Amino acid sequence: MVIATLSDEDRAAIAAMAESELIGLHFGLGAWIRNNLELWKGNWALLQSTGKTHADDASMVIVEAVWRRVQEMVAKVH
């Protein structure tokens, strides 16, 4: 769901990032994840599936998963 909302440009930009740079997505993509996937509003199943207990931490787990997936997607194209 998250990847489908990203433009091709955003996917490419995220794929090109180093893992250490992902924290820079905390207030943009991370906030979108926290709000739209309702991590602040009791989406306990998703929160638990990340292995985290706090929405901020859970959103970063999801950001990292998105990063890994878009890297795979870009690699398949090239």
C-alpha distances (whole Å) from 2 to each of 44, 78 are 18, 22
Q: What global pTM score does this model have?
A: 0.93
pLDDT over 90 at 74, yes or no: no
Instruction: Render pLDDT for 4-59 as a digit per residue (tens, 0 to 9).
Output: 999 999 999 999 999 999 999 999 999 999 999 999 998 999 999 999 999 999 99
> Which pLDDT score, from 0 to 100, does residue 1 have?
85
Ramachandran sector of residue 51 (left: φ over 0; alpha: ψ -120 to 50; beta: rest): left
Domain boundaries, the chain: 2-77
pLDDT over 80 at 78, yes or no: no
C-alpha distances (whole Å) from 25 to each of 34, 44, 78 are 12, 22, 25
Instruction: Render pLDDT for 55-72 as a digit per residue (tens, 0 to 9).
Output: 999 999 999 999 999 999
Return the residue matching tokens 């992902």.
22
> Which pLDDT score, from 0 to 100, does residue 44 have?
95
Tokens of 15: 């794929």
